[in-house]
Amino acid sequence: MKVQVVKVGGQVAEDPVQLQALLKGFAAMEGPKVLVHGGGREATALAGKLGIPVQMVEGRRITDAATLEVVTMVYAGLVNKRLVAQLQALGVQAIGLCGADGALVRSHKRPPVNGIDYGFVGDVDGVNADLLASLLSSGFVPVVSPLTYDGKGGLLNTNADTIASTVAVALAKRFDVTLTFCFDLEGVLDASGAVIPQIDAASFETLKTTGALTGGILPKITNALAAVKAGVGAVRIAKYDLKNPGTLIQ
């Protein structure tokens, strides 16, 4: 069975026009599928309104107790249920889950890294693939928010890209999985702005050494190749409307 896992970033989820395009594209995808979302910008906005300082280190949110409440409300409440309701209206039997629901994504609190205490941030230990498989086989479409469960009654904040990769890898043990990261470009672009249709481990080395690819896209491709190595059939980097194949990494 083929299963699609799609990760949508906060930037798309928070722009009504982009979100509608994503939801329509996602609804049109055939077969079993899972949507994983972020919501960092709205969490930052709510924290601001509540006077809770936002501290980021290399793109990761330092999560104190007050911030954990904010991300729980925004990710598992506001963003997740808005996506679920809008997908339902498009005929998708969406069901929203966070990592604590059915112990879907278990994690442990990250120990301090280089002297930085990330607070209530979780590093993933495992995924309840039985629960996902059961929901998919019943025709449900899990919509997953980036909170994980610490096994001791607590929630932890976990990067949504990580959740998407981990869920895809766990499902790849029993299904043929394609993982799509969607954002506002048509894919990975070369220096001329054209989409690179395919990247594999060998061509990635060439693209890096020639300097054709630089910056923030490099870790994304590295992570995609790791997911492929761990069993995911293919990783796609594509535009949020999901109309074009984008860049296939395998």
Binding site for a copy of itself (CB under 8 A): 46, 49-50, 69, 72-78, 80-82, 84-86, 88-90, 93-98, 100-103, 134, 138, 140, 147, 149-155
- The four Cα atoms 237, 243, 244, 249 give a dihedral, to 10 degrees, of 30
What percent of the chain is helix, strand and coil (3-state, nearest 5)?
A: 40, 25, 35
Tell me whether residue 137 or residue 222 sits nearer to a copy of itself (CB atom): 137
Distances (CA, A) of 125 to 61, 97, 103, 108, 201: 20, 17, 11, 7, 26
Alpha-carbon distance of 126 to 247, in angstroms, equals 28
Alpha-carbon distance of 168 to 166, in angstroms, equals 5
Tell me whether residue 87 or residue 249 sits nearer to a copy of itself (CB atom): 87
Tell me whether residue 25 or residue 187 sits nearer to a copy of itself (CB atom): 25
* Partners of 156 in beta bridges: 148
CA angle 137, 235, 204 (to 5 degrees): 165
Report the nearest approach of a copy of itself to the CB of residue 201 (Å): 39
Report the nearest approach of a copy of itself to the CB of residue 81 (Å): 5
CA distance between the termini of the chain: 19
Tell me whether residue 93 or residue 198 sits nearer to a copy of itself (CB atom): 93
**Residue 192 amino acid letter:** S
Tell me whether residue 102 or residue 233 sits nearer to a copy of itself (CB atom): 102
Rg (the chain; Cα; Å) = 18
Report the nearest approach of a copy of itself to the CB of residue 90 (Å): 8
